[in-house]
């Protein structure tokens, strides 16, 4: 199973995105500045945009989904109950997990942005996908929810998970790092070898590298463990 970008080129006015690379099974983290082309790449990977030239091949991918940054884009149900059901997810489970058991008959648009994001992600992650593309899944979540989301993503087995994010504090452990620089998609390689090449690395990771520590992954916990190892 893999998503292969073969000489992909996409343009909108002056903006051009290019990508050659393979998203294999595992967890991919894609970062880049505002407007660098992350959402464009997410849409191309999920097949919601077609390249102008080149090809996005989805080998062995039968079930795929894309989570938009704005949870409102996903709403189709008139009630929270109907909304959870629209994903094919278990209403009791998802409502308990999200603390929305007493809001089942409410309009999803009456929820706060964070509540709606949580509802969307919990409903979505109840499903199984060969390719799961998440655009800014951490936005609108508090720290506790971000950590829960990291755990849920890390626990996924099999398939390809691609997370596009600006998040700088709470990150999941990942297998491969990518960066988008002004439309150019760069495969930095597998973690941990890719970490020193990561220009968008959060400050805690930069500090660790500057100290000479060698974290095994990108989470704050990995940095703390590397610090302990170095001191030993
Ligand atoms: N529908 C559109 N029409 C014209 N230009 C667009 C359109 N959508 C995006 N763009 C432009 O394409 C470029 C890349 O946008 P994209 O949304 O992929 O960036 P991004 O890295 O996801 O940004 P952000 O971090 O703000 O989410 C930007 O310059 C953006 O203004």
pLDDT digits (tens, 9 = 90+) for 123-167: 999 999 999 999 999 998 999 999 999 999 998 888 999 999 998
Class of domain 2-63+128-231: alpha beta
* Residues listed for the chain: 232
Q: What is the pLDDT of residues 53-87, one digit of tens each?
A: 999 999 999 999 999 999 999 999 999 999 999 99
Tokens representing residue 147 in the block: 């950590």
Nearest residue (by CA) to ligand 1, atom 23, is 35
With the most atoms of ligand 1 within 8 angstroms of its CB, the residue from 17, 38, 186 to mutate is 38
The residues spanned by each domain of the chain are: 2-63+128-231
Residue 48 is given by DSSP the state: S
ipTM of this predicted structure:
0.94
For residue 73, what is the DSSP state?
Answer: G
For the CA of 166, the nearest atom of ligand 1: 25
Distance from the CA of 37 to the center of ligand 1, in angstroms?
6
Residue bearing the CA closest to ligand 1, atom 18: 37
Coil vs helix vs strand at 3? strand
User: How far does the centroid of ligand 1 lie from the alpha carbon of residue 124, in Å?
Assistant: 24
Q: Quick one: CA dihedral 159, 164, 168, 170, positive or negative?
A: negative
Phi, psi angles (nearest 5°) of residue 187: -90, 110
The whole-number pLDDT of residue 231 equals: 64
Q: Give the ligand 1 atom nearest the CA of 69.
A: 27
Q: Residue 46 corresponds to which tokens in the numbers above?
A: 């999920």
Instruction: Give the Å distances, CA to CA, from 113 to 59, 107, 170.
Output: 35, 13, 19
Q: What span, in angstroms and rounded, lies between the C-alpha atoms of 85 and 67? A: 17
Q: If you measure from the C-alpha of residue 204 to the centroid of ligand 1, how many angstroms do you get, rounded to a whole number?
A: 28
Tens-place pLDDT, residues 161-213: 999 999 888 999 999 999 999 999 999 999 999 999 999 899 999 999 999 99
CA angle 46, 51, 53 (to 5 degrees): 150
Cα–Cα distances (Å) from 46 to 23, 68, 113, 157, in that order, read 12, 11, 24, 19
The torsion angles phi and psi of 60, rounded to 5 degrees, stand at 70, 15
Please, how many CA atoms are within 13 Å of residue 49, restricted to the half-sphere of its CB? 20
Q: Which residues pair with 64 in a beta bridge?
A: 131
Which residue's CA is the closest to the ligand 1 atom numbered 6?
12
* This prediction's pTM: 0.94
Does residue 51 have a pLDDT over 80?
A: yes
**Cα–Cα distance between 152 and 166 in angstroms, integer?**
19
């Amino acid at each position: 199973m893999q998503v292969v970008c073969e000489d992909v080129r996409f343009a909108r006015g002056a903006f051009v995105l290019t990508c050659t690379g393979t998203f294999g099974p595992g967890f991919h983290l894609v970062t880049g500045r505002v407007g660098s082309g992350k959402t464009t790449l997410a849409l191309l990977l999920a097949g919601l945009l077609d390249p102008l030239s080149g090809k996005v091949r989805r080998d062995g991918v039968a079930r795929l989904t894309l989570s938009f940054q704005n949870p409102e884009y996903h709403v189709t149900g008139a009630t929270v109950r109907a909304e959870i059901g629209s994903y094919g997810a278990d209403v009791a489970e998802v409502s308990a997990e999200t603390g929305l058991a007493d809001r089942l008959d409410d309009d999803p648009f009456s929820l706060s942005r964070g509540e709606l994001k949580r509802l969307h992600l919990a409903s979505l992650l109840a499903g199984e996908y060969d390719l799961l593309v998440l655009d800014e899944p951490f936005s609108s979540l508090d720290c506790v929810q971000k950590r829960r989301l990291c755990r849920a993503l890390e626990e996924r087995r099999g398939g390809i998970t691609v997370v596009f994010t600006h998040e700088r504090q709470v990150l999941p452990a990942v297998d491969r790092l990518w960066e988008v620089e002004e439309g150019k998609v760069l495969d930095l390689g597998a973690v941990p070898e890719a970490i020193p090449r990561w220009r968008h690395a959060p400050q805690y990771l930069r500090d660790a590298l500057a100290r000479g520590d060698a974290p095994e992954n990108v989470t704050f916990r990995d940095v703390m463990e590397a610090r302990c190892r170095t001191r030993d």
